Amino acid sequence: MSVIYRYFLILIACISILLGIQIPSFVDQYEKRLDAHFLEVTNNLRGYQEIAEKFFNGSITELIKKHDASEDKTFKEESQPIKNIYERYLRFKVQKELLETSFAKKIFFIIIRGDKELINETTANYTFMIPLNKQAVITGAILAALMLLIFELLKLGICRLFRP
């Protein structure tokens, strides 16, 4: 095995560990961003929820229908902003409920079903850190092992493909 090849493997391992260590931090920052947005939208919905409690047995959907069916143009146009706030509230509520699980499931959930808006915001405002807690070290080690295995399998495949 050549010296350059060994250094290349070490470089892949180091980069993978550093990236893997970031995963728990990204999940944490995603969850904090979700909490902040959920609190904000809950606060924005509060007044409408109080009206729905008074007149529609707590049903925001009925309040929206009432506004939408109104002859008054102002109330009719108000239905869409209320609906947008309510849909955003439901979207974040579902995200919060589904993130109440194990760390590994949180990672897969964010990758597969994470809210695109929150992922983009988290990525754009992400603060790199090197936490040395158990989750970060394990995640970093697993990612490094996977990347080295993938690299070795690719190398083996290419060598077999071009072997005389």
Q: How far apart are CA 115 and CA 121, in angstroms?
A: 10
Which pLDDT score, from 0 to 100, does residue 46 have? 95
> What is the mean pLDDT for each group of 10 consecutive residues in the chain (164 residues)?
81 87 93 97 94 92 90 87 95 96 94 95 90 83 89 87 78
Cβ pair 30, 118 in contact under 8 A: yes
Cβ pair 19, 12 in contact under 8 A: no
Which pLDDT score, from 0 to 100, does residue 65 have? 92
Which pLDDT score, from 0 to 100, does residue 134 have? 85
Which pLDDT score, from 0 to 100, does residue 70 have? 85
Q: How far apart are CA 38 and CA 88, in angstroms?
A: 8
Q: How far apart are CA 17 and CA 142, in angstroms?
A: 8
Which pLDDT score, from 0 to 100, does residue 155 have? 86
Cβ pair 89, 45 in contact under 8 A: yes
DSSP state for residue 99 in the 8-state scheme = T
Which pLDDT score, from 0 to 100, does residue 1 have? 60
pTM of the model: 0.79
Cβ pair 21, 139 in contact under 8 A: yes
Q: How many residues does the chain have?
A: 164
